[in-house]
Structure 1
Amino acid sequence: MNHPLYNLLSELEAARIHFSLARYRPDSVLVTLTLVGERVEVDVFEDGHLEVSRFLGNEDIIGGQELVSQIIARNAEPAA
């Protein structure tokens, strides 16, 4: 099959880059790459176009359990 999604997956497999697939929107598939120092999210749409987001970081340890608890509390959805 000749679709950009399959082409991307073949390229990643040939390069031996680990990826995961998810579907959060009805018109695209999210391909996530976690690399040293960065995370890349590639949305591949039905029409074949790609949208790429790149998150760079230095991977320093910045906290422990307290930080995890703060992040969860800040992002938790209110109880119904």
Structure 2
Amino acid sequence: MTTVLFDLLERLDAAKIHYTLSRNRPDTVLVSITVVGMRVEVDVFRDGHTEVCVFKGAEGETEDTGILERIIRENTH
């Protein structure tokens, strides 16, 4: 998890995208990202896999594996 988590945080920092970290489950760290018009929750699991939920209009988990890349690219300052 450490590498995946820190890689994500470094990318968000480089893009100057605000985020917060929290821990709601014993096997994950939650990265909450807020950009104009949407909120994104990224659960980074102990084994390194991630789950991304995007909340805009109709809120819910997305099956779009490229969504996180587009969000970072489109919101880089």
Indicate the percent of aligned positions where both proteins have the same amino acid. Answer: 59
Match of 1:29 in 2: 29
TM-aligned CA deviation for residue 38 of structure 1? 0.2
Q: Which runs of 4+ in 1 moved over 4 A?
A: none
| Aligned-partner Cα distance in 2 for 1:16–1:34 | 11
Q: Considering only aligned residues, what root-mean-square deviation do their CA atoms show, in Å?
A: 1.0
Match of 1:41 in 2: 41
Unaligned runs of 5+ in 2: 58-77
The CA deviation string for residues 43-68 of structure 1, in whole angstroms up to 9 with x for no partner, is 000100000000013xxxxxxxxxxx
| Aligned-partner Cα distance in 1 for 2:3–2:48 | 7
Structure possessing the higher relative contact order (Cα contacts under 8 Å, 6 or more residues apart): 2
TM-aligned CA deviation for residue 32 of structure 1? 0.3
- Number of positions where the alignment pairs a residue of Structure 1 with one of Structure 2: 56
**3-state SS, counterpart of residue 16 of structure 1:** coil
Unaligned runs of 5+ in 1: 58-80
Q: TM-score by structure 2 length?
A: 0.70
Corresponding letter in the other structure for 1:52: V
Match of 1:62 in 2: none
Within-5 A mapping of 1:57-76: 57=57
| Aligned-partner Cα distance in 1 for 2:33–2:25 | 18
User: Considering only CA atoms, is the larger Rg found in Structure 1 or Structure 2?
Assistant: 1
Q: TM-score by structure 1 length?
A: 0.67
TM-aligned CA deviation for residue 3 of structure 1? 1.1
